[in-house]
Amino acid sequence: MAGYIPHTEEDKKKMLETIGVGSIDELFADIPQQVRFRGRMHLPSPMSELELVRHMESAAEKNADLSEYVSFLGAGAYDHYLPTVVDHLLQRNEFYTAYTPYQAEISQGVLQSIYEYQTMICELTGLEVANASMYDGASAVAEAAIMAASITSRLGVVASRTVHPETREVLKTYASGLGLKVDEVPYTGGVTDTAQLEELVDKGTACVVVQQPNFFGCLEEIQAAVEVAHARGALLVVSCDPISLALLSPPGDVGADIAVGEGQPLGNPLNFGGPYLGFFATKEKWVRHMPGRLAGATVDNLGQRGYVLTLQTREQHIRRARATSNICSNEALCALAATVYLSALGPRGLREVAELCLQKAHYAHDAITGLEGYQAAFTAPFFKEFVVKTPRPPAQVNKRLLSHRVIGGLDLARFYPELENHLLVCVTEKRTREEIDRLVQLLANLEGSK
C-alpha cells in the first residue's frame, strides 16, 4: 500500500478492507472530534515529474534569498561567505549519509572529523576540552547552566539582558523543569551593569551567563564578570561569536569556565533557521559533567592511531540518573562544515574575516549615524553589529529597504520595549563598500521623502 492514494469510493473501500477497518470514522477513532478536518482539500491533479519540478521552482521563486537580496540582518544568524570546498566535502557519501558512530572500528572518518572539530573549538575558546557539538547555541547555553548547577550544587543562574533574548527564553524553559532560578541583570550603555551584577550574584548562584559580543554587538568586560562570579564561588559561562574569537581574547584566557556559542557562522548557510550547531568547551577537570559526547584519539594493539567515542554521558548509554543531559545526538554534519571552514581559512584567514567585519561595520556605523535623524544608541566598542536610533519606526524603514532588495536590521522593540525605534544592524565581510553606500543612500532618501 506504500504510496497508494485512494481516488474513488471503490478505491477507498479496498483500502479500508486491506487495513482491516470498517469505515473512515473507525480509522480515525483516536483523533478527537473537535480537531478533525471536515472539509475537502482542494489539491491539484497529479503531475508528471517535469510538471512537478516546474511547479516547485515557481513556488520557490516567491521566496527572497541572499542571491538576490543584500542582507544587513544578523541577531544570531549571519551571512558570511562560505568557501565552495565546504559543500564539496559535506556532500561526500561517507559524511552526508553517516549515522551515529557507535562502532569505532568502522567509523574512523566521522570520528576523526569530530576529533578535529573539538580540537579547533578548544583552540578558539582557550579551553581544554570541547564536546562533539550540540543542537544550537541557545541549548548550549542552557546545558552550560545545568552543568554549572551540577558542579556547584547550587540552583541560581544570573544572566545578562544583553544575552540573546531567545537564548534567555530557552534557558528559562530548561530551568523551569529542573528547579533552577534565573535572574536577569539589566544593561547600561549597551553592556551588562556590573554594579547590578554584583548585587544579584550570591552564594546560591551556580553561574553567571554573559555574551561576547553581546546581542547589541557591544563588547562586554568579561574580566569584570569573571571576578564577580568567582568571588562568590560561581562559574562564568560566555556565549561567544566564533568569528570574533580571531580578534578578541579567548574566553578561557580571561578566566571563563565554560564557553559556548552558535557555530552557524563557521561554514553553515542561512537556511530558514537551521540546522545549526552549538559549540561547547570547558576545563578538563569538569569533563565528566559535560553534556553530549566526546571523541578521542588512541592507539590500537599494533600501535596505530585510531579514534573512539571516549565519553557518552547521556541517558541512552548510561543509567538515566547519572546522565548529564537528555540531548541524544550532536550536529555532526554541521560540525564538519565548521571543521572544513576553519581548515580552509586557517588562523590568518579567520583573522582577516574578523578584521573585515570589524572595519566594514564601523564604516557603516559612521555613515549611518552621520545622516540627519539617525543616532548611535550606545558608545561601547562593537564588533560587527551595532544599534542605531531611527527617526521613524523600523518597520517603515525595513519595508522601504525591502522594496529595493535590501534586508534591513532587526527592530529591537520586539525584545526590548525600551528600545522603540532602534535598529540592530549587522555588517559581515561579504558586504561591499557599494552595498553599504547604497544602504546609507536609501536611508537618506527615506528621510528626504517625508
- Per residue in 393-431, pLDDT (tens digit) is 999 999 999 999 999 999 999 999 999 999 999 999 999
Is 141 within 8 Å of 320 (Cβ atoms)?
no
- Whether the pLDDT of residue 297 is over 90: the answer is yes
Domain shared by 328 and 228, yes or no:
yes
Last residue of some domain: 326, 341, 356? 341
- Per residue in 9-65, pLDDT (tens digit) is 888 888 888 999 888 888 888 999 888 888 888 888 889 999 999 999 999 888 888
DSSP string of 193-204, one letter each residue: -HHHHHHH--TT
378 falls within a domain: yes
CATH of residue 230: 3.40.640.10
Confidence band, pLDDT 50/70/90 cuts, at residue 2? very low
Is 387 within 8 Å of 370 (Cβ atoms)?
no
- Whether the pLDDT of residue 368 is over 80: the answer is yes
3 falls within a domain: no
CA dist., res. 279 & res. 264, Å (int): 10
Domain shared by 197 and 246, yes or no:
yes
Q: The dihedral of CA 371, 372, 375, 379: what is its sign?
A: positive
10 falls within a domain: no
164 falls within a domain: yes
Domain shared by 297 and 387, yes or no:
no
What is each CA distance from 108 to 71, 139, 298, in whole angstroms? 39, 28, 12
Please tell me the total count of domains within the chain: 2
What is each CA distance from 198 to 190, 192, 220, 234, 380, in whole angstroms? 18, 11, 15, 12, 20
46 falls within a domain: no
Domain shared by 166 and 238, yes or no:
yes
Domain shared by 315 and 433, yes or no:
no
Domain shared by 165 and 308, yes or no:
yes
The one-letter code for the residue type at 196 is Q
Confidence band, pLDDT 50/70/90 cuts, at residue 315? low
Domain shared by 202 and 314, yes or no:
yes
Is 147 within 8 Å of 282 (Cβ atoms)?
yes
Last residue of some domain: 319, 341, 363? 341
Say which DSSP state 405 is in: T
CATH of residue 398: 3.90.1150.10
Domain shared by 121 and 223, yes or no:
yes
Hey, what's the cell of 330?
A: 550532536
Say which DSSP state 351 is in: H
Buried/exposed code over 72-101 (b: 16+ C-beta within 10 A; e: otherwise): bbbbbbbbbebeeebeebbeeeebeebeeb
Domain shared by 328 and 286, yes or no:
yes
Is 279 within 8 Å of 271 (Cβ atoms)?
no
Domain shared by 164 and 123, yes or no:
yes
DSSP string of 74-99, one letter each residue: -TT-------HHHHHHHTSHHHHT--
Provide the pLDDT for residue 3: 47
126 falls within a domain: yes
Domain shared by 131 and 209, yes or no:
yes
204 falls within a domain: yes
pTM: 0.88
What is each CA distance from 315 to 131, 312, 327, in whole angstroms? 16, 9, 8
Hey, what's the cell of 97?
A: 549519509
Percent of the chain past pLDDT 70, that is, above it, reads 94
**For residue 269, is it left (φ>0), alpha (ψ between -120 and 50) or beta?**
beta
Residue ranges making up the domain that contains 388: 70-80+347-448
Say which DSSP state 6 is in: -
The residues, any chain, with a CB within 8 Å of residue 266's CB and separated by 6 or more, are 242, 243, 337, 338, 341, 342
Percent of the chain past pLDDT 90, that is, above it, reads 74
48 falls within a domain: no
Weakest mean pLDDT among 107-111, 221-225, 356-360, 444-448: 444-448
Confidence band, pLDDT 50/70/90 cuts, at residue 321? low
For residue 2, the SS3 value is coil
- Per residue in 274-295, pLDDT (tens digit) is 889 999 999 999 999 999 889 9
CA dist., res. 122 & res. 282, Å (int): 8
Last residue of some domain: 286, 306, 341? 341
- Whether the pLDDT of residue 78 is over 70: the answer is yes
Range ranked top by mean pLDDT from 13-17, 259-263, 444-448: 259-263
Is 261 within 8 Å of 113 (Cβ atoms)?
no
Domain shared by 368 and 429, yes or no:
yes
Weakest mean pLDDT among 176-180, 251-255, 307-311: 307-311
